[in-house]
Structure 1
Amino acid sequence: MTTANTEVELDLVVARRTDEAHAVVSLELQRPDGTPLPPWTPGTHIDLILEGLP
């Protein structure tokens, strides 16, 4: 099965941050206006570009 790779760039905000273990966090990301994110499929990954960190 062949699928087309689609790259989408989104501006997202952290809706929730959870400390899972020492030096491990989970982040829940969402669009600033709360609209749904695009659907995902198994194997999907994201690249994060972080701004505003010290």
Structure 2
Amino acid sequence: DTKRRIDVFALSIYSLAVFPKALGHVDEATTDLFDPLDRGLHQSQRFWKKHSGH
């Protein structure tokens, strides 16, 4: 039951981010902010990977 609630919550957040973008209600600057999160790699993680030699 808890997993189901988490899944529903995650899907609702995802729909808030994706569907307005698909419908053109969100500008490009806002979607650029969330694109690294969609790929699973945040900007700070990318920075540290680059500068730590990994």
Q: TM-score range by the shorter chain?
A: under 0.3
Q: Which has the larger radius of gyration?
A: 2
Flag the structure with higher strand content.
Answer: 1
- TM-score, normalised with respect to structure 1: 0.22
The TM-score with structure 2 as length reference comes to 0.22
Q: Which has the higher helix share?
A: 2
Structure having greater relative contact order (Cα 8 Å, sep ≥ 6)? 1
